Structures are given as structure tokens and as C-alpha cells.
A = this chain, B = another copy of it.
């Protein structure tokens, strides 16, 4: 099943004609997840054919405007388009009031429920779980409380070997148990071994998102071995002083985290408007961690 990330905004605090404020759409195990929602995200979703109404979960990393000013507009539009299914918003404490206050002042009544899960600063652990995915959060190092997120597929079932489906001793009721890894002991004393009848399941995949953060080795453990890591790289090393001052990272620092965490691939975004593109970021990062790239609005990246 597809696990993919569409970049809806890749700018730093100042949006430009080429880069919108931060937002990403993640499709994982049939769930539609939006991470961050800078101003104009609803228009980017329209542009890149992401359905408003299918969104199940919105994750907000922190309360700097370039990461949440688009949320209330997106919710309004969902309402106007007739949404009636629930929405889960996982966000820093304080955002619920901001959203509701703006809707209430315009006497806007939603025709769907929003389950706001507000996080305390420095929360660590699971914030969402269903039968197929789990979302965990961990703290980043920024000027305001900021939450990183990992979206992880759950361990999948073993899959039946097709060529053994006609095995004379196999009954339909055995299949579910074999897929769970259970061996079947038959009355005649013979055993159907799960390992013989089924293949190992595909390895669960994981995506980690680190929106705005200074270099912090504490991140490494939280994103260990994920298949794809998005880590902000607002600056390159020539502006390392600015990165330190503003609690942002350089491309080199993002790559260092990626290497130490042994991730599959590194995506870099939140590029400062002072760079015309991310080529310098890419060069700098690849010297440390070769499977690195910068992102542009509209890019769709699959986790294989």
C-alpha cells in the first residue's frame, strides 16, 4: 500500500512566489494526514489535488504563524463544502481557543466535530493509534514548544503463500491463525507450520517530521531507523550563526542527524528566502549523508 508525502509548502517564515508556508500531506495505510498548515495551505491542496474532505488527522508542530495560520481557513472551507465526518487535530496547547474564537466571532457553526488533542510542551509518546498506524511525538528545540512527529505503520500480518492454498489439510479457519504466526496442530498429529505456509510481512515503514529546530542530538533516538526523515534546513553552514541565533538548523546539521539516526532518506525544507534554491543545502548535506535532497512545493515522495 502506498505511503507517500506531498510537499504543500517548503518556505521558511516568509512565503515566496515559489514556496508556500509549511504544510505536508501524508498518505499512509489509507489515512490522510496533514502536517502543519501555514497560510494558503487550502489553496495548495486544491492545486495539488489533495481532498479537503478525506483528511482524517491534522498535526501541528508549533504555534509560529507559518505553521498554523492556514488552519482556521481550511476548517471553514471544509464546513462550507459540507463536511460531516470527524476531524482530529493534534497540536500545541492554545490552538483550540484560537481556532474556535475566530469561528465564533463570525457565528460559524461547524457541521462536524473536531477532536482537539492539545499537547503539553515536551510531550513524548503516542498521540494517535488505530489498527494500522501509530503516531508518536517528541520535543524539538525551538523558541516555542515544538513537537516532532513520527508516523509509523504497524506490524503487518504474515501473508499466505498462494501455492499452498490448495494444500489438502488446510481449512479456511486455519488461514487467519497461520497469518498471525500460529502453528496448527491437527488431530492426526501432523502440524501446519506458520513459517511454511506464510511469507514474512512487509517491514512496517515510518516517516518522521522535524519542522523547526536547532541542532539537537536528542532527536536522533526518536527518529532512529525511520525510512524517511524530513528535517528542516533553514540555512547552510555559512549562516550557522543565524541558525544558532534563531533556533534553526543548517543542511549539515540536518544530515548529521540523518546519519546518526541511520534513516533511509533525508528531505530538507523550510529554506530561508535568501537562497534561490536548495542546491547548496543538497551539496552540503550529501557530503555527510548521500541520500539527501531538498524539497519544492508540489513534490510527491514515496516511501518504498
Closest beta carbon of chain B to A201's beta carbon, Å: 41
Known contacts A98-B102, A107-B143; can you find 18 more A-B pairs with CB under 8 A?
A13-B80, A15-B43, A17-B43, A39-B39, A39-B42, A39-B43, A39-B70, A64-B108, A65-B102, A65-B106, A66-B76, A69-B76, A94-B105, A95-B105, A97-B101, A98-B101, A101-B101, A105-B144
- Do residues B40 and A77 form an inter-chain contact, with CB atoms below 8 A? no
Q: Is A175 an interface residue (CB 8 A)?
A: no
Q: Is A81 an interface residue (CB 8 A)?
A: yes
A side interface size, CB within 8 A? 39
- Neighbour of A63 across the interface among B21, B97, B105, CB < 8 A: B105
State the copy count for this chain: 2
The CA of A40 and the CA of B21, in the complex, are separated in Å by: 10
Q: Is A73 an interface residue (CB 8 A)?
A: yes
Which residues of A24-41 are within 8 A (CB) of B? 39-40
User: Known contacts A72-B65, A106-B65, A144-B107: does B15 contact A81 (CB below 8 Å)?
Assistant: no
Q: Is A16 an interface residue (CB 8 A)?
A: yes
